Amino acid sequence: MRSPVPRGRIREVRFASGLDRSELVVVDHRDLTGPNEVLLIEPDQPVLAADRVRHLHEPVLLLAHPSREALRRAVAAVEIVVDPEPPVLDFTVDPPPGGVQYGDDNVLKRLSIDKGDVETALAGAARIVEGEYRTGAQEHVYLENQGMVAWEEGDVLVVKGSLQCPYYVLKALGHALGRGPDRVRVVQAPTGGGFGGKEEYPSLVALHAALLARKAGRPVKLVYERGEDMEATTKRHPSLVRHRTGVDVEGRLLAQDIEVVLDGGAYVTLSPVVLSRAIIHAAGPYACDHVRIRGRAVFTNSPPYGAFRGFGAPQTIFANERHMDVVAAAVDLDPIELRRRNLIENGQSTATGQVIDDGTDRTALLDRAVELSGWHEKKAAHAELARRHPWRRRGMGLACFHHGAGFTGSGEVVLASRVDVAGLADGRIEVRSGNIEMGQGTLTVFTQIASEASGLAPSAIALAEPDTARVPNSGPTVASRTVMVVGRLIERAIEDLKARLGLPPDAGGDRFAEAIRAAHAERGEAPVGTATYQPPPGVEWDETTYRGDAYAAYAWAVYVAEVEVDLRTYTTRVVDFVALQEVGKVLNETLARGQIQGGVVQGIGWALMEDVVLEDGAMANAQLTNYIIPTSDDVPPIRVTFEETPYAHGARGAKGLGELPIDGPAPAVVNAVARATGTRPTTVPLTPERLMERLEEGRADVA
């Protein structure tokens, strides 16, 4: 039972007089045995609202019944009565009187990056170009909805469900229920997609299922229907990004002055770290000696925004890459040439002062992507089409970008992730990791890494079910870290197991298996090798000043989109797409290619059609009939190419991959629309209605 308004005080919960409550289980905030807090960065979000609500659809009351039909009747017979208060729904303006509900100004988090002297550099610039860019929310649309089953085994509470981070859920359950880790167990069920939507939100679903199961004294299944899932769960943070860029007479960047504002929604959730990644990527993969970035995440009375693939980087990369095309037009340079003159080279530093020296030739990546796309050959054909056809227009657009792999700064050190590898009685090995499979290929790649590191056949590799009673905390399955960071831990844990068995590092195959069987026979238990995260040498990060090595490694990419715009209907169709990336060593090309193609499709959806319509701060179009995602008919040929520069501290030389492909499609597509139509779009999704407005504005300017 959820709040009917975006902000207000709960007056009462009314039960209809004819409601039969004999078999109904009812839970509210008073049933918690610990603090009424969902444990995340800040414990500001209640498990169940007690006296006030801060967003539409906020959970207030839980009901359970053995019969689904009886439960539906019970829900209809209960009313949450709230005295409404004026909500704050616009994150881009200062809150009105009475609207401050968090701190002094509704700002959840402020972060800054400073490099050089921006004002002096701007004063000496040949040209200063300004721009303002907006991105909307995005729904995850994972394959299956949020869902949990909870039950008790003796004095141990067990929760099993669709989730990305078992240990996040474990900590949240222990905190709110006042239980130690030995009395809580979390098991990941096979999960049909997450994209970040099953990173932090499952903690709330797990707590609700657990509270009902404890009070009912029997197992409880809690599975959201699609509409409820879309209305109530987290989305990608909407953003507003402002750029003020100074360039010299040759188009080289002299100064970048960037402001980033994110809508955090009603509670903190993960907004501070989303903002962190957003500002670190805001200046793009370019060399600039003078950079100033100011970022803030703002409280509103919308349902909380949270983790989503890319984690803040897609918002600021869209703004930066769209702005680079605007700068190119302002200084009368081809957008390719502007980027070529400014792409960071080995030995130069990022906005945080991190010196890049990974051996990747970013200019070569740009040139190769342009060549593969047929950019120059198609330019004349597009001009000819515009001359001879009254309503068809085609254009090309590109985006150069990077994505940091792993947790930001000292995050991986704080996580202290661990992996165990146990030898089994039959000579096989079992990899014990808290990282999960959700369609991205973890099971396959972990098996491949373990097989290559051990010399055993893939059939001799077992992967333990992600169950907090059996596997150590390997960190969350997020942040493009699974293969690079956790895969490397698997390699090191196998090395440790070999050392414990008295074997040299290169021992493998039959010799390794025989040693495992002998150890079992001698000890009567499984020998176990273990590895805990250790940072690569020379990585230094200052969390206070935001200076230093933000990430141990970056992946680099250039994406090129070709679009066709229908001037009668204002619809845009992507007709060709080139995705070129350097991600270290590619371990499994089939899975890697699938990750890139899936990310591109998701990015095209965000760029053109996935429009979250908000009413009272919440999603009004929470149905897959009117929240439009790409179908197979909307997907162009996606031509994926990899360049490889192996990373010494990643598993088999791999770097992060999973988030990179969501970063580049939106700016590449919108830049292509701009070239096709001669307009200057600044917002995604660029729906037909928004494109029509841009075209009409252009016609009015001409008139």
For residue range 203-214, list pLDDT tens digits in order. Answer: 999 999 999 999
Contacts of 352 (CB under 8 A, 6+ apart): 113, 115, 280, 546, 547, 548, 549, 550
Q: Read off the pLDDT of residues 72-89 as tens digits, 9 standing for 90 and up.
A: 999 999 999 999 999 999
| Res. 702: pLDDT tops 60 | no
The average pLDDT across 594-622 equals 98
The average pLDDT across 371-392 equals 97
Q: Which of 446, 464, 402, 462 is nearest to 664 (CA)?
A: 402
Q: How confident is the model at residue 134 (pLDDT cuts 50, 70, 90)?
A: very high
Mean pLDDT of the chain: 97
Q: How confident is the model at residue 703 (pLDDT cuts 50, 70, 90)?
A: very low
The single-letter DSSP state of residue 482 is I
Q: How remote is the C-alpha of 602 from its chain's centroid?
A: 12
pLDDT for position 700: 55
| Res. 149: pLDDT tops 70 | yes
* pTM (2 d.p.): 0.97
| Res. 679: pLDDT tops 60 | yes
Q: How confident is the model at residue 627 (pLDDT cuts 50, 70, 90)?
A: very high
Sheet holding 418-423, edge to edge: 461-463, 429-432, 418-423, 528-532
Q: How confident is the model at residue 697 (pLDDT cuts 50, 70, 90)?
A: confident
Return d(Cα 301, Cα 509) in angstroms, integer: 59
Cβ(118)–Cβ(255) below 8 Å:
yes
Q: Is 12 left (phi over 0), alpha (psi -120 to 50) or beta?
A: beta
Cβ(418)–Cβ(564) below 8 Å:
no
Contacts of 364 (CB under 8 A, 6+ apart): none
CA dihedral of residues 352, 358, 363, 365 (deg, nearest 10): -120
R_g (Cα) of the chain, nearest Å: 26
For β-strands 147-153 and 220-223, DSSP reports them as antiparallel
Q: How confident is the model at residue 637 (pLDDT cuts 50, 70, 90)?
A: very high
Contacts of 51 (CB under 8 A, 6+ apart): 9, 10
Share of the chain above pLDDT 70, in %: 99
| Res. 699: pLDDT tops 70 | no
Q: Structural domains in the chain?
A: 8-85+140-232 (3.30.365.10), 239-407+548-702 (3.30.365.10), 411-532 (3.30.365.10)
Q: Which of 172, 560, 159 is nearest to 374 (CA)?
A: 560
The average pLDDT across 548-569 equals 98
The average pLDDT across 265-283 equals 98
Q: How confident is the model at residue 385 (pLDDT cuts 50, 70, 90)?
A: very high
Q: How many CA atoms lie within 13 A of 195 on its CB side?
A: 24
The average pLDDT across 477-485 equals 97
The average pLDDT across 124-146 equals 98
Instruction: Supply 384's token pair.
Output: 């000819």
Return d(Cα 432, Cα 409) in angstroms, integer: 26
Residues 478-493: b if buried by 16+ CB within 10 A, e if exposed:
bbbbbbbbbbbbbbbb
The average pLDDT across 12-22 equals 93
